[in-house]
Structure 1
């Protein structure tokens, strides 16, 4: 495995040297290759899906793993969207003249070699390759073992069109120790981005020897305040929970104002039950709505499946307190027609994305106009929310003088 790290590090200067035009041509060529070789990718994916089903992978995770012509088309379009976006590399973020007379320019540059750890989502492979190429970064991919054949097929499409540049990009084999070796490859990996559940994130936090960005864990909340438009709230709930339950921007907990709970929760349960959702809640929820009660630790759960926790709260302040205790600073939504309460809710939370009357499923690089995303950061430093091109850059200062010396 060390030979992979060494090779990527050696060739990491190659993508840095590409012009914007060269990077965009490669992105388009990669996008076209995905379509041309879609049957090859789908054959690999079918093999992965068959093995995953035999191993007992959940239906939600099978959905994340599965590709079809439409999804490959979306992967291709995502790459083309990246090609249309401005190249951040070389961009002057700020400039000023210091008291000494030197001109200082703060300029965006690549980070270096990015290590990406992710689970069974092959579309992440093309997104990451595209974003890293556009920003002049090299990358080492560590996808879930369930998607190895598919990820390799996607990477091969990129390698076929990228020549020597492609040697700056690699997929680690599905070995048990690959993640551990990646996050400890100090001097060879400049930044690690883990995309996955709480267990993966915590493992990286506790064991990484290289810098990392905390992403992914998504205990997202929908709070239905007493002035909420009922139809809006039900539509948002259905979309946020059921459209893709396995993704990190899906809602995991529904909070409802006590004043409307007896009316709203049965309607919400009916809509969700019709879509196969299982319910959890505390003793009060159990007693009022016939659910087997759980202790309050249930509200820490990120289900990534057709399951949801329910809770009755005593107004916006109580909802905010609950989210601060049980949330992961990912995405939260309030359904309300009260402007003052909406502003209180949105200003009181420091989650990466806070919504009013819109589904948390919009927490996505494509939906934000980034073309694609490399992950969704839930930490406070460097980057927050969906991370697109600019978030995969750092900066240095260029200082222009005319013989000045410091006195």
Structure 2
């Protein structure tokens, strides 16, 4: 479930958030500029960052980059998939450096925020700071991450939101990319990105029709629960509070996924689903309300009554694995200790617990020494955590001074039944 890629926060804290930490599909479509698109095959615009880092003896002057293959990565410290891609891009940069490939990451983050970030996250290639956003504008960046490849002749040959080694190798070998064979089937965008309270399917329709002038969904009081058309997705969510309105969207979630979100549970291990319902659902909520708790209550009531189900709690003693901090250290901090711009260099302890539960189907808890703590994630960044096995995760946590102990505790689990 994509929720696990975000810092895990209780619903009671949601109203304090100023930015929705949504995941990939949402981030990629948030509009930044409305300039005309640069086209593949055209001469690449020059870049003129106001500050550079990690460039060594590499000059970003056009003459110095002539004859090089240049990979441009437009990113930001707040962009989860941007930060998650750095370890892989570090490897590609090192592997193809001797073949004339130059990686340049360009951000519009303020100087202090960027420099704080660079102290916590390893980037082995050149970073440029675009204070006036002119490079973003010249490249018509409409979302992040945005990746470009410029060939040896200074021509744009690739634009996308993710770079694979296969794509880069094709440019290294041929100085270009063969055009894709277009399908005769019309493109259907089931999720056009969203903020809490917006309908991702509606936003997808706007993107397909090119209609950017239509009314915004946030002006309409709505509570929608429907079977999702996005059945191949593993789910994504967003939430926000704007003035006196609450917005919550969950796209393509199973019943267990949605109840985990509504009740702020670590994972679906805490829920026994006794209902023969494997459908995925969309939940879109935007109403005048003074708290997330009331909004969640309305959604749950509509879900249980509409599907004729109950969601009940059960308290009993169960075997659990308890995590605790053996000794305070700089790798485990509280949210108040975060420096500006470094939040994506840390992963909440809740995300580690969730991943362990999903992999083992067992219960994991953090004691008071780790309550609400953040773990410096270098060496177990998001992508590595996503692909890791339990032993790898546990070994990483031990390097951060965390110990695990088997106990029996009284815990509250939940069950979904037919009404």
Q: TM-score, normalised by structure 2?
A: 0.22
Which structure shows the higher strand fraction?
2
Which structure shows the higher helix fraction?
1
Q: TM-score, normalised by structure 1?
A: 0.23
